[in-house]
């Protein structure tokens, strides 16, 4: 591996570690009011940023690890079924945002397109995971529960993510921080 590839790998590892740390800590800002945290989805923000800025493998890894690690370390989210379903959802967020963004022209419109596509794919995977996990444990997950959890209750978080993530990605691009090449 040449020196520039080695340097890029070290940078991606460092940024991914930072995004994982932020994913673990950011929910504490809303932790006093769980209802707010569950609708703003603060853990999702660093996962999306990791996918956009470091690339899909890194975003996928951070997205998969963050909910499980946070559950084990802090007891929130509950491991079953929440953290397990979230690990698949967030992994897809990191995967899709990073994969699409790597192949599109870097501009605000494409950043929003990638973000929306990642949000939709991740929420679909979350719904499938919830359905399977609850079915295996004898529970039930209906279409109404999916729509409420993935969209209705998530509207504030969706709006927040659409407002802050694209400008942060563009700022990182202009600053030379983005490594998703």
Q: What is the CATH number of domain 3-175?
A: 1.10.1760.20
Give CA–CA dist 115/10, Å, rounded: 26
pLDDT in tens, the chain (181 residues): 788 999 999 999 999 999 999 999 999 988 767 778 789 999 999 999 999 999 999 999 999 999 999 999 999 999 999 999 999 999 999 999 999 999 999 999 999 999 999 999 999 999 999 999 999 999 999 999 999 999 999 999 999 999 999 999 999 999 988 888 7
Chain Cα centroid distance, residue 5? 26
User: What residues have CB less than 8 Å from 181, skipping those under 6 apart?
Assistant: 8, 55, 102
Separation in Å, CA 94 to CA 29, 65, 77, 106, 136:
22, 11, 19, 17, 27
Reported pTM: 0.97
């Amino acid at each position: 591996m040449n020196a520039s590839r080695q340097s890029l790998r070290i940078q991606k590892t460092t940024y991914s570690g930072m995004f994982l740390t932020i994913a673990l800590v950011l929910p504490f800002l809303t932790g006093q009011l769980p209802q707010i945290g569950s609708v703003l989805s603060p853990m999702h923000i660093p996962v999306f940023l990791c996918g956009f800025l470091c690339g899909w493998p890194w975003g996928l890894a951070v997205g998969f690890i963050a909910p499980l690690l946070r559950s084990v370390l802090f007891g929130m989210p509950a491991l079953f079924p929440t953290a397990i379903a979230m690990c698949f959802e967030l992994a897809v967020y990191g995967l899709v945002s990073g994969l699409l963004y790597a192949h599109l022209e870097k501009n605000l419109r494409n950043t929003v397109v990638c973000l929306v596509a990642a949000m939709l794919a991740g929420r679909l995977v979350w719904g499938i995971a919830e359905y399977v996990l609850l079915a295996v444990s004898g529970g039930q997950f209906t279409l109404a529960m999916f729509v409420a959890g993935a969209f209705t209750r998530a509207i504030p978080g969706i709006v927040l993510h659409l407002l802050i993530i694209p400008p942060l990605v563009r700022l990182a691009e202009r600053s030379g921080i983005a490594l998703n090449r």
